[in-house]
């Protein structure tokens, strides 16, 4: 049981490349923290620094009240699950799980109890004598989990543990990991690039971009109040519609409030309704339907605005300029080429400064 605190942690490689540019995160005891961001944002590097596999070039990493900067991975009392599982291919499942305990000089009887308990929890009891190559991807994943839990460490670290599994298994394992973590109540840090995984697993979500933290908070809070346009478009699928407020069409609708300072307005696809009315202080847009995706419960409408605007601050998953996604109930489906009018109420607008770095509260 421990909390993990990162205090202005930095990582600069010998070549001068700054991978982590000062990160402050505080993960409370027993909390599940997810680091999410696009590839190359430094989330894995940060996790490896917590594990002790990468050196820390600035700031402090504190696990359970002890600064661990100069401490070997073995002595940090952490366990890590790797993306490729990193099982020992020459050892049986049992020995894979027992290895860490043997290295710490635990009695063989106690090892047996712990490994068998972990195997029971993870439904691996029938496979203890098998070698990793005789297991399926999901089973290997569970052995990697087992290897972590038998140690009963202070902190679990997960480095994209589900990215090698197929979609169905990924969802099942995601639920498993969450249940297991709740039951063991062990502080966990989990790295992923999948925003859905991040949303569903996290107690605390840390959205990273370019070696910096964009936003830290409760996942729903982040979804509802993204701090930057990067977070707005990264969290949520399909991404938030981000539009410049410069075109007269939008500017006139936002007039008469602090929204006038905003350079960018964001509206989530589900916050639009097809209507002819214009809500007071909200935004209404005429669209031409370009494409439709019907996925059953909902329909995604891809529309283009009459008035093209220039690109807003570059963000991942960004829509082409002038394109708007609208999510409507699966029962509706406008015809392609139809001209519709969509509107979002004032409370559903997200306003950002012109560079996308600052959220403006309405």
Partner 1 sequence: MQKQAIFQSKLLPYALVAPQLAIVLIFFYWPALQAVIQSFLLQDAFGLSTSFVWFDNYLELFRERAYFEAILRTFFFSFAIAVSSLSFALLLAVMADKPLRGSMLYRTLLIWPYAVAPPVVGVLWIFMLHPSLGVLSRYLRALGIDWNPLLDGDQAAALIILAAAWKQISYNFLFFLAGLQSIPRSVIEAAAIDGARPMRRFWTVIFPLLSPTIFFLLVVNIVYAFFDTFGIIDTMTRGGPGKSTETLVYKVYTDGLLGGNLGSSAAQSVILMIMVIVLTGIQFRFVERKVTY
The secondary element (H helix, E strand) that includes residue 340 is strand 339-344
Return the number of the residue (78 or 235) whose C-beta is nearest partner 1.
78
- Which range touches partner 1 (CB under 8 A), out of 84-92, 252-260, 310-318, 330-338? 84-92
State yes or no: residue 13 binds partner 1 (CB under 8 A).
no
d(CA 107, CA 217): 42
Main-chain dihedrals φ then ψ at residue 91, nearest 5 degrees: -110, 150
CB of 341 to partner 1, least distance (A): 54
Return the number of the residue (88 or 237) whose C-beta is nearest partner 1.
88
Whether residue 155 contacts residue 4, with contact meaning beta carbons closer than 8 Å, is answered with yes
Return the number of the residue (83 or 125) whose C-beta is nearest partner 1.
83
d(CA 87, CA 118): 16
Return the number of the residue (186 or 229) whose C-beta is nearest partner 1.
186
State yes or no: residue 83 binds partner 1 (CB under 8 A).
yes
State yes or no: residue 99 binds partner 1 (CB under 8 A).
yes
Residue with tokens 């392609």: 336
State yes or no: residue 73 binds partner 1 (CB under 8 A).
yes
Residue from 72, 248, 276, 361 touching partner 1 (CB under 8 A): that is 72
CB of 172 to partner 1, least distance (A): 24
Return the structure tokens found at 185: 């109540």
Within 24-53, the residues that bind partner 1 by CB under 8 A are 51-53
State yes or no: residue 16 binds partner 1 (CB under 8 A).
no
Main-chain dihedrals φ then ψ at residue 176, nearest 5 degrees: -60, -50
Q: Is 128 helix (H, G, I), strand (E, B) or coil?
A: coil
How many residues form the binding site for partner 1 (CB under 8 A)? Answer: 24
Return the number of the residue (151 or 350) whose C-beta is nearest partner 1.
151
- Which range touches partner 1 (CB under 8 A), out of 35-43, 59-67, 97-105, 208-216? 97-105
Contacts of 163 (CB under 8 A, 6+ apart): 83, 170, 192, 193, 194
Within 128-147, the residues that bind partner 1 by CB under 8 A are 133, 147
Angle, helices 108-121 vs 93-103, to 10°: value is: 130
Contacts of 136 (CB under 8 A, 6+ apart): none
Return the number of the residue (103 or 307) whose C-beta is nearest partner 1.
103
CB of 148 to partner 1, least distance (A): 9
d(CA 192, CA 235): 12
State yes or no: residue 84 binds partner 1 (CB under 8 A).
yes
d(CA 219, CA 336): 35
Residues at the interface with partner 1 (CB under 8 A)? 51-53, 72-74, 78-80, 82-84, 86-90, 99-100, 103-104, 133, 147, 151
């Amino acid at each position: 049981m421990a909390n993990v605190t990162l205090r202005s942690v930095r990582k600069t490689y010998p070549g001068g490349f700054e991978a982590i540019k000062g990160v402050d995160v505080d993960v409370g005891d027993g909390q599940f923290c997810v680091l999410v961001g696009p590839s190359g944002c430094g989330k894995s590097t940060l996790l490896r620094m917590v594990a002790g596999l990468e050196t820390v070039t600035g700031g402090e990493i504190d696990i359970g009240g002890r600064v661990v900067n100069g401490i070997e991975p073995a002595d940090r009392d952490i366990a890590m699950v790797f993306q490729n599982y990193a099982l020992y291919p020459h050892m049986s499942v049992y020995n894979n799980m027992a290895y860490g305990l043997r290295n710490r000089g635990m009695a063989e009887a106690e090892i047996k109890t712990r490994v068998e308990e972990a195997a029971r929890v993870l439904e691996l009891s029938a496979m203890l004598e098998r070698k990793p190559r005789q297991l399926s991807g999901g089973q290997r994943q569970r052995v990697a989990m087992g290897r972590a839990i038998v140690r009963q460490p202070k902190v679990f670290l997960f480095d994209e543990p589900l990215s090698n599994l197929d979609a169905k298994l990924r969802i099942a394992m995601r639920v498993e990991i969450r249940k297991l973590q709740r039951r063991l109540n062990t502080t966990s840090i989990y790295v992923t690039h999948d925003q859905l995984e991040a949303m569903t697993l996290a107690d605390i979500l840390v959205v990273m971009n370019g070696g910096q933290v964009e936003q830290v908070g409760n996942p729903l809070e982040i979804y509802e109040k993204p701090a930057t346009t990067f977070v707005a478009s990264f969290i949520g699928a399909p991404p938030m519609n981000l539009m410049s407020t410069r075109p007269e069409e939008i500017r006139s609708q936002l007039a008469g409030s602090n929204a006038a300072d905003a350079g960018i307005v964001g509206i989530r696809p589900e916050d639009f309704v097809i209507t002819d009315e214009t809500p007071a202080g909200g935004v209404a847009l005429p669209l031409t339907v370009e494409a439709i995706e019907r996925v059953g419960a909902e329909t995604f409408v891809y529309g283009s605005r009459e008035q093209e605007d220039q690109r807003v601050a570059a963000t991942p998953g960004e829509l082409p300029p002038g394109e708007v996604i609208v999510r409507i109930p699966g029962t509706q489906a406008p015809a392609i080429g139809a001209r519709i009018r969509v509107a979002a109420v004032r409370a559903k607008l997200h306003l950002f400064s012109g560079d996308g770095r600052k959220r403006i509260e309405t």
